[in-house]
Copies of this chain bind each other. A is one copy, B any other.
Amino acid sequence: MPIKVLYVEDEEFLGKIVRESLESRGFEVFMEADGAKVLSLFRNSKPDICVLDVMLPNKDGFEVAEEIRHIDTAIPIIFLTAKTQTTDVVKGFNIGGNDYIRKPFSMEELIVRISNALKIKNADTGNINTDSISMGNYQFHLNRQTLTSPDGERKLSFREAELLKLLYANKNKIIDRREILNLLWGNDSFFNSRNLDVYVARIRNYLKEDPSLEIITIKGVGYRFAMS
């Protein structure tokens, strides 16, 4: 029986990515963009957990949360808040089954929070997280975040590792730039976009010993991680 997530988000593209990503990890997602319509969806879907964007048309996330609390006093609620919002206000809600995540957030972070809130034991959440992947001359240890080649071992940072995972998961397929941005950075704004460029450059540099591995740019669209 899948875990049901009620996800309230008005940004269409981000919503789509997050939804798909949650579904790919086995969650059942019920989505709504309009704060005023959440309550009826709540009643119908009977979710296990709610993820609410605070900035919504018609009704903000806090109001929605209050209404939900009238129906169910125990369900965990996770708020998504913009960076600009004062954390004090949010912290007030950080009690009573509530948690909050600052936007932008990575999928990894959202999954961690959801798992925590639901006390999912040992949730490997469908990740490839276990051992290691081999790519050309390299061995990529997911858990340890290291990349080993005949020449030695290199430690990857979290972002580097996440990007490489994503590339590998979509090897020989085109991945949309915006999709990467939304998954790793939580939005596809201009600055994060440049950020991705920087990380792609780093991964390319790390993988340059093996010419059979190549991250090909599809200008205006995304990348393709070519490997035989």
Contact = CB atoms under 8 A, between A and B. Distances in A.
Contact of A116 (B87, B118, B129): B87
A157 interface: yes
B179 A108 contact: no
A187 to B, nearest CB: 10
A204 interface: no
Interface stretch (A10-18, A24-32, A90-98, A193-201): A90-98
A86 B119 contact: yes
A176 B112 contact: yes
A83 interface: yes
Contacts of A218: 158
A36 interface: no
Interface of A: 74, 82-84, 86-91, 94-98, 106, 108-109, 112-113, 115-124, 129, 143-145, 157-158, 172-174, 176, 179, 214, 216-219, 221-222, 224, 226, 228
B122 A173 contact: yes
Contacts of A94: 84
A162 to B, nearest CB: 10
B221 A108 contact: yes
Given A89-B116, A157-B219, 15 more contacts: A82-B95, A84-B96, A84-B97, A88-B115, A88-B118, A90-B119, A91-B121, A106-B221, A112-B174, A116-B176, A124-B173, A143-B224, A144-B214, A158-B217, A158-B218
A219 B156 CA distance: 12
A228 B141 CA distance: 11
A82 B109 CA distance: 24
Contact of A74 (B83, B87, B109, B145): B83
A33 to B, nearest CB: 21
